[in-house]
Structure 1
Amino acid sequence: MRNSVFVGLDWAYRSHAVCVIDAQGSVLKHLTISHDAQGLGQLRHALAAFGKALPVAIERPSGLIVDALVEAGHQVFAIHPNAVKASRPRYRSTNAKSDAGDAFMLADLLRTDGHRWHALQPQSAAIRGLRALVRTRDDLVATRIRLANQLTALLDAYWPGATCIFAAVDSPIALAFIEQWPTAARNLTARQIAAFCKRQGYSGRRSPGVLLERLQAAAPSLCEPALAQAQATAALALVALLKPLSAQIKALDGHIALAMAALPQAVSVMSLPRAGCICAAQILAELGDVPERFATAEQLCSEAGVVPVTYESGKSRAVTFRWACNRRLRQAITCLADNSRHASPWAASVYHAARKRGCDHPHAVRILARAWTRVLWRIWTDGTVYDPAIHSSACRIEISQQG
C-alpha cells in the first residue's frame, strides 16, 4: 500500500482510541475521542491535518464512526477481530492490552499488510435502510421464538393441552385461546370451541371436534389451583408480549416489501426458486448494491460461510466448519437453498447426491447453498435474472469436493 500515513482506530461504545503513523511505523499522533458529535468533529479535524483519503483500519464494517469516516472521504478497511487477535504476538510477548496499543497495531497492520484487505465500498441509502429493516425483523423474530419457547415450557408445566390444540403456540388464534382460557378448561365443549373459532375468524382445516380431541388427548393438569393460577398469570404476561411483537413483525414485512419494490437488484435475487420477499431481502441486505465488493464467487462463498476451512500441516489435513463469516447472510442463503430443493430439479439432485455420500441434512444444505451462491454471484454481478438453462449448468461443480 503506497501511502505515507496510516490510521488505526480502536472502536468502543463510549470512546475511541486513534493512532496515526507514518510509512516507517513511527507514531505521528495519538488521541482519544468521545462517541458524540464533538468527538467526531475532533476526529475529522485531526485527520485533515495529515491529508485527504487516508487509509483507516477498524475492526467493524459499519456504524456511525465508519459512516463519518467514509463521508469525510477516507478509505476504511475493516479488519476481522480474529486477524487482529492472531497478530498480537507480533507486537508483544505478554497478554498486556490497551486501547492505544490496539489502535497502533491496527494502523501498523494496514501499513505492512494493507494489500490483504479491501477498502469498504459505501452502500446506497436504500440498501442501508433495507438492512436496518431486515435486521430488526430478524431480531424480533428471534425474540418471538424465545418467548414462544418460554410460553410452551410454562404451559407444559400446568396445562399441556394449550400447546397442542393449534399448530403454533405463538399464532394469533393460539394466543387468543390462552387469553380466554389461561387455566385448564376440563369442561370445554366442541360448541364453545366452534363459537371461539368463529369470533377469531379461524380459517384452519380442523373442525371443532378435532381441536377438542387434541385438547383432551394431552396430558392432564395435576397442578394445585393456587399454583396453576400463578402460572396462568405468568402465561398471560408472555401472551401480552407476543401479541404486539407479532404485529410489529407483520408491519415490518410490509415495509420490507415496499423497500424491495424500489430496489432494481431485488428482481435478480427474487428470480431464484422459492426466494420469497423476506428471504430475498435478507440476502440483498447483506450483499448490498456494489458488485465490485466480491471479485469472485469464491469470495462470496467464504463471506457467506458456505465453504469449509482447510487446515494442512505436514501429513495432517483437516476440513472444518467455517465459523468466521457473515452469519446473517449464511442463514438467508441456506434457508433459500433448503426451500429451493422442493422447486428446482437441479437443486434437488445436488442435495440428494450429497445425502447419498453420507452428508447429514445441514451439511447437504450447505453444499447446495454453495452452488446457489455461485449462481447468486453471477446474476448479482451481471444484473440479470436466474435462468435454469444457463446458470444451473454453469454451476456444475465437483460436488464431492464441496463442504
Structure 2
Amino acid sequence: MSVSNSKTGVDNTLDTSTTDSRLSERRPTGGVDWAKDDHAVAVVDPDGEQTARFTVAHDQAGLRELVRRLLKAGVVEVGIERPDGPVVVALRQAGLVVFVIPPVQLKNLRSRYGSAGNKDDRFDAYVLADTVRTDHRRLRPLLSDTPTTTALRQTVRARRDLVAHRVAVANQLRAHLQICFPGAGGLFADIDSEISLRFLERFPTQDRADWLSPRRLGAWLASVGYCGRVDPTVLHTRLTDAPRGHTGDNTTASAAVTTAYTAVLRTLTKQIAELAARISEQLDTHPDAEIFTSLPRSGRVRAARLLAEIGDARGRFPTADSLVCLTGVAPSTRQSGKVRAVSFRWGADRELRDAICDFAGDSRHDNPWAADLYRRARARGHDHPHAVRVLARAWVSIIWACWTTHSTYQPDRHRALQRILSQDQPAAA
C-alpha cells in the first residue's frame, strides 16, 4: 500500500521485503520535530509509552548527541517532517530508517491525541514517533536520489527562481516606465531584451529620447547590431505617438530608477545564462539524460528539470499511478452517499507538477498525438490549464514506462501516435 507525500515529493510505501525483519522486533521508534535552531526529539516504546524526550541544538555536537541517544535507546526507525537537510543526513549515516511525514499530514494526525489542536514541538515529536510505531505498514523508508541528481535539482531550481525574479523586475520596470517614459515601455517586444536594455541605458528619459529622429534612431540601431525586424520609422512613430513622459527637473530621479532596474535585469539575465550552461553540462554526464532529452520539445533545460524533479530513485514510484498522484495531474474524487465530486488535486508535489505541465503544454506543438489529446480536451469544455493536465496525465504514463525501463521515447513504437498519423495520411490524400 502506498501513501504519497504531497509537500515533500516522497512516496511513503513500506518495502516489506527489506523491513519486515526489523519491524517484527518491536523496537522503540523515534520522532524529530525539525526547527531552525534546535530539534525536539521523542522516543516511544513498542506499547506507545514515551520513554524519552529531549532537545538538541542544530550544530555538529547536537546532531551527534541526537544520534547517540537514539541509538542508545534502541531506536531503528525515525519519523521527521522533511526529506533533506543535515538532520536527515545524520540519521541516515547512523543507519537509522527515516520516514517522512509531511506537515500537512502531521497536522491531521494531532487530532488522534486530542481535540484542542495545540501546536507544540515536543508533542509533534511524540506524534511522529507514535505514527511510525502504529502506521509503519503504510510508510516507505526515505529513498534519496543520487548526488548527481540532487546537484542537478539544485541548479535547475536556482535557475527557475532567477527567471521568476527577472519577470518580477521586468514588470517593475514596465510599471515605472508607464509613468515616467511611456514610449520606451512599448517600443520593443520584450522589456528585458538586449535591444530594449541598450535603448534604456542610452535614452533613459523622455528628454534624451526627444533628440532622436527616424534617421538618428536608425543609425543608433545599426550601431548596436539591431536585427532590423521593425523599420526605424515605425519605432520612432511608437515613441512620438505614446504619451509624453517626465521632462525637465523630474528626469534625474526617474533616470536613476530606470538605470537601476536595467542593471538588475542585465545581472539576472547573465546569471540565468550561466546556470543554463551549467545545467547542460550536468545533463551531459547524467545516466538518465537520454531518456528525457528524447521527449518532444524537451530541449535541454526542460529535460533537465523533468529529470531533476522525478529523480532517479526508481523505488519511489513502483507504479505509474503513484507518479501520477504525486504530480497532481489526476483529479481528486470525493464521494459521500449519493454525492460525488471530482475536483482539482491540491495535494501534490508542486515542483513536479509544474515541470510536467510545462513539458506537456509545449509538447502539443510538436507531437500530433499530444495535439489531438489537447484539442479533444478543449472540445469537452476544459480550459487551457485543465486540458494541459489531461495531456500531462497521459504523458506521465509514457515517461514512467521509459524511466523504469531505461529506454528512450520512440515515436514509431507509440501506438496512439501512430494511429493519429495513419489517420492524417488518408485525410491529406
**TM-score with structure 2 setting the length:** 0.87
Q: Compute the displacement of 1:200 (Å).
A: 3.0
Q: CA RMSD in A?
A: 1.9
CA-to-aligned-CA distance 1:329-358 (integer Å, 9 cap, x gap) = 111111111111010000001000000000
Q: Compute the displacement of 1:395 (Å).
A: 12
Match of 1:350 among 358, 366, 373: 373
Matched residues in 1 for 2:289 and 2:201: separation? 40
Q: Compute the displacement of 1:227 (Å).
A: 3.6
Match of 2:107 among 82, 85, 94: 85
With a CA cutoff of 8 Å and minimum separation of 6, indicate the structure with the bigger relative contact order.
2
Matched residues in 2 for 1:194 and 1:72: separation? 69
Matched residues in 1 for 2:66 and 2:228: separation? 59
Q: Compute the displacement of 1:133 (Å).
A: 0.5
Correspondence list, 1:151-170, <5 A: 151-170=173-192
Residue in structure 1 matched with residue 320 of structure 2 by the alignment: 297
Residue in structure 2 matched with residue 106 of structure 1 by the alignment: 128
Residue in structure 1 matched with residue 272 of structure 2 by the alignment: 249
Residue in structure 2 matched with residue 214 of structure 1 by the alignment: 238
Aligned-partner SS, 2:341? strand
CA-to-aligned-CA distance 1:366-385 (integer Å, 9 cap, x gap) = 10011111111110111000
CA-to-aligned-CA distance 1:267-319 (integer Å, 9 cap, x gap) = 10111100011111111111111111101111111111111111111222221
Match of 1:196 among 220, 228, 232: 220
Matched residues in 2 for 1:34 and 1:172: separation? 49
Amino acid at match of 1:263: H
Relative to structure 2, which stretch is displaced further, 102-111 or 112-121? Answer: 112-121
8 Å Cα contact 2:412/2:418 also seen in 1: no
Residue in structure 1 matched with residue 299 of structure 2 by the alignment: 276
CA-to-aligned-CA distance 1:183-205 (integer Å, 9 cap, x gap) = 12234223333333334333352
Residue in structure 2 matched with residue 36 of structure 1 by the alignment: 59
Structure 1, unaligned runs of 5 or more:
397-403
Matched residues in 2 for 1:71 and 1:216: separation? 67
8 Å Cα contact 1:371/1:395 also seen in 2: no
Correspondence list, 1:59-74, <5 A: 59-74=81-96
Aligned-partner SS, 2:79? strand
8 Å Cα contact 2:205/2:247 also seen in 1: no
Relative to structure 2, which stretch is displaced further, 375-384 or 155-164? Answer: 155-164
8 Å Cα contact 2:205/2:246 also seen in 1: no
Q: Residues 194 and 71 from structure 1, CA distance in 2 versus in 1: closer, same or farther, beyond 3 angstroms?
A: farther
Q: Compute the displacement of 1:394 (Å).
A: 9.5
Q: Compute the displacement of 1:51 (Å).
A: 4.1
Residue in structure 1 matched with residue 427 of structure 2 by the alignment: none
Residue in structure 2 matched with residue 333 of structure 1 by the alignment: 356
Correspondence list, 1:311-322, <5 A: 311-322=334-345
Aligned-partner SS, 2:386? helix
8 Å Cα contact 1:375/1:392 also seen in 2: no
Structure 2, unaligned runs of 5 or more:
1-22, 420-429
Matched residues in 2 for 1:175 and 1:208: separation? 17
Q: Compute the displacement of 1:127 (Å).
A: 0.7
Q: Residues 302 and 216 from structure 1, CA distance in 2 versus in 1: closer, same or farther, beyond 3 angstroms?
A: farther
8 Å Cα contact 1:8/1:20 also seen in 2: yes
Relative to structure 2, which stretch is displaced further, 278-287 or 165-174? Answer: 165-174
CA-to-aligned-CA distance 1:111-147 (integer Å, 9 cap, x gap) = 1112222111121111111011011111111111111
Match of 1:148 among 163, 170, 174: 170
Q: Compute the displacement of 1:4 (Å).
A: 1.3
Residue in structure 2 matched with residue 370 of structure 1 by the alignment: 393
8 Å Cα contact 1:346/1:392 also seen in 2: no
Q: Residues 349 and 70 from structure 1, CA distance in 2 versus in 1: closer, same or farther, beyond 3 angstroms?
A: same
Residue in structure 1 matched with residue 145 of structure 2 by the alignment: 123
Residue in structure 1 matched with residue 289 of structure 2 by the alignment: 266
Matched residues in 1 for 2:175 and 2:90: separation? 46
Aligned-partner SS, 1:94? coil
> Is 2:213 the counterpart of 1:186?
no
Q: Residues 28 and 257 from structure 1, CA distance in 2 versus in 1: closer, same or farther, beyond 3 angstroms?
A: same
> Is 2:39 the counterpart of 1:13?
no
Q: Residues 19 and 392 from structure 1, CA distance in 2 versus in 1: closer, same or farther, beyond 3 angstroms?
A: farther
8 Å Cα contact 2:369/2:417 also seen in 1: no
Matched residues in 2 for 1:343 and 1:335: separation? 14
